[in-house]
Chain A
Amino acid sequence: MLNASLKELSTELSQRKISSVELTKLFLARIDALNGKLNAFITIDAEKTLAQARTADARIAKGAAQALTGIPVAHKDIFVARDWLTTCGSKILSNFIGPYDAHLIERFNGAGAVLLGKTNMDEFAMGSSSESSFYGPVKNPWDPDRVPGGSSGGSAAAVAARMAPAATGTDTGGSIRQPAALSGVCGLKPTYGLVSRYGMIAFASSLDQAGPFAKSAEDLALLLNVIAGFDPRDSTSIEREPEDYTRELDKPLSGLRVGVPKEHFGEGLAADVGKAVEAALAHLEKLGAKRVPIELPNSSLSVPAYYVIAPAEASSNLSRFDGARYGYRAKDYKDLADMYRRTRAEGFGAEVRRRILIGTYVLSHGYYDAYYLKAQKVRRLIANDFAEAFKRCDIVVGPTSPTVAFKIGAKTSDPVQMYLNDIYTIPANLAGLPAASIPCGFGAGGLPVGLHLVGNYFAEAKLLNVAHQYQKSTDWHRREPEGLKS
């Protein structure tokens, strides 16, 4: 049951072979057994979770179930949930109980899903390893000495270790796809604006996008069906006809033009990762796809541009955490300025402080044009690169991350090395394009490798179609970490 797909779980539930309460208890037990080791969850509240499971059972009994009714789902602790501690992985929100539900939480509640728990993450989603959390690092289920990727590492690890059948995350520069790759699960970052940001604690507003984690592309499609859609409370949410993201899953791939950017296969890509990705490309060709060499000439500018734009927005977005109205406030302070200083120095971790400083600097008088404005221009160039590429191909495919999961602590002292983890994923955020990562093999040390798929705007159904066809004829996505076998 812990390994079942969402579709299978839904069938089991609707046929009353198992109740939501029983299913939820199974996962709660699994969390109980493994969380001490993996630290994937910040908050578990069995009582609240089971109450929701009971409600779901009543709904199923009435015959009013939807696809996800009764299925437990873990949520990244960046989503505000009513009556749930919502920390964003930070000390500064370590006492913050959500007074309302984020749009994404509302959607899952409406679908009858059960909130299984709040997952661990890099503080304020700033990181690629889930080590910067106030609640301690998340461990990779494939090797607890290694990171699961980040910032949504808790969600990735929870699905990888079968502590949750599905989970949610947010992706600002790769925070869904990179942990999905490093933890051997599937993750999708939708087109910017497809999922409302209301109730998702902002890191970099123009880049942040929520998305699902699951064991398969088919599951991702079912989850996306729940969370996608217009929300008037988010001005960047896009109003468009709802889609069924499962509708193209079974389309054959014959004639599909797969764009392979040469810039994502050069220096910096580890050989083991390159080998697995090459094999996956060959497999797609076997399925009828055509390989098209493409160029993304401004790729190399994406990391520098990102590390101007994201910190700039973050420096402003995080100003509200000042100790005045909610959250942590320093104990002793002389005056107002001292209260701000101490509260923020004590409440934020090193990486968050670093990014606030960078962001404040690049927005400062006299530097704005040289950094922020320039970075925005680069952003346009990167979007143009993709626009050109999509004239010649239907989907862009490459590695999600240059390496497999690295050791905990290996990159914490070298932020630039850490930032380069997202070199392949950041361009999709800068351009606002949908992108996914799915398992495509194993590299050194038996650690998972992720295949990165980028689609054109709103081409989620196409992305999921390619991923599903790949998964129908491979079994990488079914592999489970040795030693944690469910």
Chain B
Amino acid sequence: MSWEIVIGLETHAQLSTASKMFSGGSTAFGAPPNTQANAVDIALPGVLPVVNRGAVERAIRFGLAVGGEKVINRRSIFARKNYFYPDLPKGYQISQFELPIVKGGEIPIVSPTRGEIKIRLTRAHLEEDAGKSLHEAFHNMSGIDLNRAGVPLLEIVSEPDMRSAEEAVAYAKTLHSLVRWIGICDGNMQEGSFRCDANVSVRRPGAPLGTRAEIKNLNSFRFLERAIEFEVKRQIEILEGGGKITQETRLYDTDRDETRSMRSKEDAQDYRYFPDPDLLPLEVSDEWIEEIRAKLPELPEAKRKEFINLGISPAQANLLTSSFQIANYASLMFGGANKTNAPVFANWISGPLSSKLNEANLDISETQVSAGQLRRLADRVEDGTLSGKMAKEVFDAMWAGEGTADEIIEKRGLKQISDTGTIEKIVDEVLAANAKQVEDYRAGKDKAFNSLVGQVMKATKGKANPAQVNEILKRKLAS
């Protein structure tokens, strides 16, 4: 009998505000330790938290993107999560517990196994990050860097709706793209701006949920996938050996590619949550939500459907909506396109443009060829000015900065010969000079035809419109 894998993700997205969740301290990454921790961040006696409006606005943006205004709580409560640790200066983390700012919502994803499905969200809540403990740098001591203490996070909790590691990755990637799309998180996973905890369990199909293990702090899609795969295997082995899964928190060791127990449920701390008396309930007005909604960009799912309606394949539509910038580029390039040419245009983006960007390790926002220029090039193929091969040459030149498509065509004399009279004249000359091939062709040797085409192209230095050459040759040989 098979096992069903059940996965839910808790994702911490660092909100892209300039200042911290409850203080004016800077959130910029990479400053020397403790240079971006102010009186509030280091929890001096007497200081008080003040909610960052920009962080709340971003949380609302997220709520609107995953469920609309109905999933945004007009009143939410900041609570204190109490525990002692040196990188937690107040001895408590301000988070949201009973009443989060976003309740519900869903993320549509394309599952590699199940196709288009929706992953339900339980909630998303605002909280502050802790600082960082540095254990390596000091002999027999630990260093504490509080730069990150107080950085605003949106914790996005999914329902246990995913059924494979690949599906979890598809969800994480879609979410990652969405938070960047709506401009609430820079998505930088190396810097910890986007990290996942995975709740993993297995069960027999139809059985109630199995006991889960939570794998903490997975900061790459690859680690997410590997950690889940390892964990699933581990759990199945235990169960099939007659054992039981203990509810626990586990860490993924990237070097050994395995998960390790960090603490069991029995050791779980009592966080003594209670509403933070320093902060009033967070009230969000309908007017404010409407104001934010009005400025929200078209969402990836809507864009994806728009592209599919233009005849673009679902897989390619996914690629073209993997970021707001790519989608925006595609939309600009597709202006006025129809079901016939839009897929051809899309191939330019997913083909030559993507290769160039990858080669140079550039983001689409840093492209050397703008959407308008690329469209102009594609149009030159459509109107017969360029052959596919010539267009590729022009594109390379454009990327190298030699000018627009038309300038390069002009400069290099790349204009395709599409004048029937000219081509006919050359065809006649070729036929006259290659009596043997003509004879072979007429005797049924198709290969001879290709040789004749080659002769014509050679005579025109490759500029003859291949379709016309074919047509004229066939007509002449048939007569």
Listed in ascending order, the chain A residues whose CB lies under 8 Å from chain B are: 79-80, 86, 88, 93, 96, 99-100, 102, 197-202, 204-206, 232-236, 312-313, 315-316, 318-322, 324-326, 336, 340, 360, 363-365, 368, 372
Bound complex: CA A206 to CA B80 (Å) = 14
Contact (Cβ within 8 A) A235 B51: yes
**Which of A322, A326, A360 meets B44, CB within 8 Å?**
A326
Known: A80-B45, A235-B278, A313-B277. A325 touches B272 (CB 8 A): no
Q: Quick one: which of B328-356 are within 8 Å of A by CB?
A: none
Q: B80: shortest Cβ distance to chain A, in Å?
A: 5
Bound complex: CA A324 to CA B278 (Å) = 23
Contact (Cβ within 8 A) A363 B90: no
Bound complex: CA A360 to CA B47 (Å) = 22
Q: B375: shortest Cβ distance to chain A, in Å?
A: 51
Known: A319-B92, A320-B91, A324-B144. A340 touches B84 (CB 8 A): yes
B438: CB under 8 A from chain A?
Answer: no
Contact (Cβ within 8 A) A100 B44: yes
Known: A99-B39, A365-B270, A372-B274. A236 touches B280 (CB 8 A): yes
**Which of B43, B45, B51, B280 meets A96, CB within 8 Å?**
B45
Known: A319-B90, A322-B91. A88 touches B44 (CB 8 A): no
Interchain Cβ contacts under 8 Å between A and B, 28 examples: A80-B45, A100-B39, A197-B48, A198-B47, A198-B48, A199-B46, A200-B46, A202-B46, A202-B278, A204-B277, A233-B50, A236-B279, A312-B274, A313-B277, A316-B80, A316-B92, A316-B272, A316-B274, A319-B92, A320-B90, A324-B89, A324-B144, A325-B42, A326-B44, A363-B82, A363-B272, A365-B270, A368-B272
**Interface band, chain B:** 20 to 34
User: With a CB–CB cut-off of 8 A, which chain A residues contact B278?
Assistant: 202, 205, 235-236
Return the chain A residue nearest B133 by Cβ. Answer: A336
Majority-rule SS of B interface residues: loop
Q: A14: shortest Cβ distance to chain B, in Å?
A: 33
Bound complex: CA A31 to CA B272 (Å) = 45
User: With a CB–CB cut-off of 8 A, which chain A residues contact B42?
Assistant: 325
Contact (Cβ within 8 A) B82 A320: no
Contact (Cβ within 8 A) B46 A198: yes
Q: A151: shortest Cβ distance to chain B, in Å?
A: 16
User: With a CB–CB cut-off of 8 A, which chain B residues contact A319?
Assistant: 82, 84, 90-92
User: With a CB–CB cut-off of 8 A, which chain A residues contact B44?
Assistant: 80, 99-100, 326
B86: CB under 8 A from chain A?
Answer: yes
Return the chain B residue nearest A340 by Cβ. Answer: B84
Return the chain A residue nearest B45 by Cβ. Answer: A201
* 0/1 string, B75-118, CB within 8 A of A gives 1: 00000101010100111100000000000000000000000000
Q: A379: shortest Cβ distance to chain B, in Å?
A: 12
Majority-rule SS of A interface residues: loop
B49: CB under 8 A from chain A?
Answer: yes
User: With a CB–CB cut-off of 8 A, which chain B residues contact A236?
Assistant: 277-280
**Residue from B43, B46, B47, B279 having most chain A Cβ neighbours under 10 A:** B46
User: With a CB–CB cut-off of 8 A, which chain A residues contact B82?
Assistant: 315-316, 319, 363
**Which of A102, A235, A313, A364 meets B46, CB within 8 Å?**
A102
Known: A312-B274, A336-B86, A372-B274. A320 touches B45 (CB 8 A): yes
Bound complex: CA A88 to CA B44 (Å) = 13
Return the chain A residue nearest B280 by Cβ. Answer: A235
Q: A301: shortest Cβ distance to chain B, in Å?
A: 20
Contact (Cβ within 8 A) A206 B274: no
Q: A89: shortest Cβ distance to chain B, in Å?
A: 12
Contact (Cβ within 8 A) B49 A364: no
User: With a CB–CB cut-off of 8 A, which chain B residues contact A93?
Assistant: 45
Bound complex: CA A324 to CA B84 (Å) = 11
User: With a CB–CB cut-off of 8 A, which chain B residues contact A205?
Assistant: 277-278
**Which of A96, A206, A235, A340 meets B50, CB within 8 Å?**
A235
User: With a CB–CB cut-off of 8 A, which chain B residues contact A235?
Assistant: 48-51, 278-280
Return the chain B residue nearest A361 by Cβ. Answer: B272
Bound complex: CA A363 to CA B48 (Å) = 21
Bound complex: CA A336 to CA B80 (Å) = 22
User: With a CB–CB cut-off of 8 A, which chain A residues contact B270?
Assistant: 364-365
Q: Quick one: which of B46-75 are within 8 Å of A by CB?
A: 46-51
Q: B208: shortest Cβ distance to chain A, in Å?
A: 24
Contact (Cβ within 8 A) A80 B46: yes
Known: A80-B45, A319-B84. A232 touches B272 (CB 8 A): no
Contact (Cβ within 8 A) B43 A320: yes
Q: A365: shortest Cβ distance to chain B, in Å?
A: 5
Q: B19: shortest Cβ distance to chain A, in Å?
A: 14
